Structure 1
Amino acid sequence: MRVALPLKQLGLVAVGARYDVAPLEQPQIERRRIWHDSAYWIPLLLVYTGCRREEVAKAMVSDIELIDGIWVLRVRRTEAGRVKTESSVRDVPLADEALRLGFLSYVDHLRSAGAAALFPELGAQPGKFGDIFYKKWWRGFERAGLVPEGKDMHSIRHFVATELAVAGVSEERRADLLGHTVTSSETARTYTKRTPLVILQQIVNMIPVVTSAIMPLR
């Protein structure tokens, strides 16, 4: 059974993904440049969307769209990979905090550079994008002590689901956001349409903010 990451530890993971770098041959230089790539954005997007790691890691630049005035991550089958189930196909609004942190600036930079993948560096190796991220970065977070023992990347998704349940979000609406299949209330799902995007936007903004100390990407 997976257990949600506690709020404090979740904040450490998210903030820990932000780090300064300096040339290795000049370690004495004060570090001023911030590295923004999959190590920075994937943990933040996992927190502020509740998506599965592969859904975020395999995303294409074209999957970030403005629909009815709402910026979303479109979870769908692309050349980068399939989706887990039919219910996984969905549009996930980007939380206000993800926008504040400058995610759209990152996307614009990739578009200007002609990149297709949202995290091009993960496509340089064979395998699923989420698995590559885990080996490339998550293990490093674990070695750095940012991830409590017994927790994994899915614990972030469990955190989102738990927090939304505590906040009173219905099972059907949580399922629509997270790409789950409703099992305990099939009758309700049969006669209920998918949650409108504007409501899903309100729901993602109910996820606790754990990155208020991070300055946005400019």
Structure 2
Amino acid sequence: MPTPTAPETPLVTIGDLFEQWAADRADKRAPNTIKRYRGSIRSFEAFAKGRDVRTLTGDDVFAWAVHRRDRGGISPRAINKNDLVAVSSVFRWGAGRASGQILASNPAAGISLDEPRIVPQRERTFREDEIAAILSAALAVQPDPRNPTLSNAKRWCPWLAAYSGARIAELTHLEQRNIRTEAGVMVMDLRVTKTGEPRTIPIHSHLLEQGFQAFVKICGPGPLFFDPTRHGERSLTSPGELRGHKVGKWVRATVRLDPGVDPNHGWRHTWKTRALGAGIEERLRDAITGHRVASVGRRYETPTLAMLAGAMNRFPRY
């Protein structure tokens, strides 16, 4: 009598494993994180050419990382910080009990590329002439009826960043409903953040004097700085992030910014430096910019809106 044949184990690709991980982590990870990981996973899946995830080894992961560096032109630091973190997170889950231990182990564990030592060529804050050039260029932007949200982003996002230290994508995701008044203070609710933790920031009086509140009122409901109808739903990069990239490119091209400073992120360094000079307490500086506090004890301190508004009132005008 013939021996029964064991059923064949179904193929599990890297993409299959990722979708299972994403479903399990949906309530534990920020949506932006899952979306960001998806791009790295798709790259690795294309490199592995549909192989079963259980056949992959550390050598395969390392070869892919080298391919990303040498063929894709991506820096080792970006690969270590983004691609390998994404793949390792998914594989670690695949080797855990939550997944039913699909994998025997995490093949990406301990894999990294050597990062060349980078010596900064200058400070990360904007210099006074750069501040004046960027903010003057933003003030001079005229409404563009062909793409109004782009001209709106060029006009307001540099100024919002200058007076908040917020990340550019946190600002470009703002909607009309995120600008409101609470206890007599005009605030902006940043709902799309790097950490996934929302925060509320008082709006500096100089922005209100420039007409920011009136601008928000005439925009109507929805995003202030991008048009959702212009962006495909399957794009790996959110429309707010894409808009932030465009603002950065516009700033660099318009003011011929020094390549050693980031046209968007430079405002975070500049805001914190100016806030320090204005005597604003570190805990308040961290609360406004969304930086994690340094100690467990500080996590018990939640600055009130009145405290944050007082700090913003002390922040010097440009």
Report whether the alignment pairs 1:119 with 2:225. Answer: yes
**Which whole-Å CA distance do the structure 2 matches of 1:206 and 1:146 have between them?**
31
Pairing of 1:157-196 with structure 2 (within 5 A): 157-183=268-294, 185-187=295-297, 189-192=298-301, 194-196=302-304
1:205 partner SS:
helix
* Mapping 1:16-31, distance limit 5 Å: 16-19=137-140
Q: Which residue of 2 aligns with 1:14?
A: 135
Where in structure 1 are there 5+ consecutive unaligned residues? 24-34, 77-81, 211-218
Structure 2 alignment gaps of length 5 or more: 1-119, 145-149
Tell me how far apart the structure 2 counterparts of residues 123 and 51 of structure 1 sit (CA, whole Å).
Answer: 25
Change over 3 Å in CA distance of 1:191–1:21 after alignment to 2: closer
Tell me which residue corresponds to 1:110.
219
SS at match of 1:168: coil
Quickly say closer, same or farther: Cα 1:69–1:143, change in 2 above 3 A. Answer: same
Alpha-carbon contact 1:16-1:146 (below 8 Å) kept: no
Secondary structure of residue in 2 paired with 1:38: helix
The SS at the match of 2:280 is coil
2:164 to 49, 52, 71: 49
Measured in 1, the distance between the counterparts of 2:199 and 2:244 equals: 24
Runs of 4+ in 1 over 4 A off after TM superposition: 20-23
SS of alignment partner, residue 163 of structure 2: helix
Aligned length: 187
Query: 2:217 is matched by which residue type in structure 1?
Result: D
* 1:103 maps to amino acid: F
As a proportion of its length, which structure holds more helix? 2
1:120 CA displacement: 3.2
147 and 134 in structure 1: CA distance in 2 versus 1, 3 angstrom threshold = farther
Alignment partner of 1:131 out of 241, 254, 261: 241
Within-5 A mapping of 1:76-87: 76=191, 82-85=192-195
Q: TM-score, normalised by structure 1?
A: 0.76
Kindly, what percent of the aligned residue pairs are identical? 24
Q: CA RMSD in A?
A: 2.5
Contact in 2 for aligned 1:59/1:118 (Cα 8 Å): yes
**Contact 2:178-2:190 at 8 Å conserved across structures:** yes
- Distance between the aligned counterparts of 1:145 and 1:3, measured in 2? 17
Q: Larger relative CO (CA 8 A, sep 6+): 1 or 2?
A: 1
Q: Give the TM-score taking structure 2 as reference length.
A: 0.53
Q: Read off the aligned partner of 2:224 and give its amino acid letter.
A: L
Q: Secondary structure at the match of 2:255?
A: coil
* Structure 1 position 196, deviation (Å): 1.5
CA displacement, residues 147-179 of structure 1 (integer Å, 9 cap, x when unaligned): 233111111111001111222222211111111
Question: Secondary structure at 1:144's aligned position in 2?
Answer: helix
Larger Rg: 2
Distance across 1 between alignment mates of 2:254 and 2:269:
22
